[in-house]
Amino acid sequence: MINFSDFEKKINVFFKDKNLLRQAFIHRSYINENPSAGLSHNERLEFLGDAVLELVVTDFLYKKYPGYAEGELTSLRSALVNAIIISEVASEVGMNDYLLLSKGESKDIGKARQYILANTFEALIGAIYLDQGYDSADIFIGKILLPHTEEIVSKKLWRDSKSLVQEKAQEFVNVTPSYKVLHEAGPDHDKHFTVGIYFGLALIAEGKGKSKQEAEQSAAMYALKTKNWLD
């Protein structure tokens, strides 16, 4: 079994309940492949951590940007907690090395891994909240994620990605982007969508999300990065 002590040192959070920390890294696929291990996957922790993350980020942005209107704050929050940013942050602290995945999932290091990392990051926040309380979760998020705020504001990454990619596509290639659902999975209460963004017939990028709208925004952001259209 993976030893998480080095990871605890890296993030400077030392768990009272080590099983809670381990659970944060257990993907559903691992349980499916190892049903006799007696372990639980991280989806409940992810559900909790998502709410804690949103509150911490909302509180931070509300205080830091008193001149921003509600819509601007909402867009900025969405940019800060989207899967692209969160998976990058998770990679920076080495979470990839501790994931408990099925053999099949462990071979996929593309976009699917990004979403697994983002979900695991949220599960870790849920685990910190349960083990240490809200203040510790707040400190962890403040140290690991919130420093990215300045980059997001300076590069205007908080702008609506769909609007921005439409503006750039019309300016540079004279097309209006279109979106198509490529895949959807999960039960009705927990759907996950994969959406493609197209310039004409050409598939430019894909994005995932818990709603079609979220997946479209993610695809638009990937398209902006692919085309190097971010200011």
Distance of alpha carbon 164 from alpha carbon 170, whole angstroms? 10
Distance of alpha carbon 175 from alpha carbon 37, whole angstroms? 52
**50 part of the active site:** yes
Contact 218, 82 (CB under 8 A): yes
Contact 198, 177 (CB under 8 A): yes
CA 56 to chain centroid: 15
CA 147 to chain centroid: 16
**122 part of the active site:** yes
| Angle, vertex CA 35, rays to CA 29 and CA 37, nearest 5 | 105
Distance of alpha carbon 43 from alpha carbon 127, whole angstroms? 11
Catalytic residue among 46, 105, 122, 216: 122
Rounded CA Rg of the chain: 18
Contact 210, 184 (CB under 8 A): no
Strand order in the sheet with 192-199: 178-185, 192-199, 202-209
Q: Which residues are catalytic?
A: 50, 122
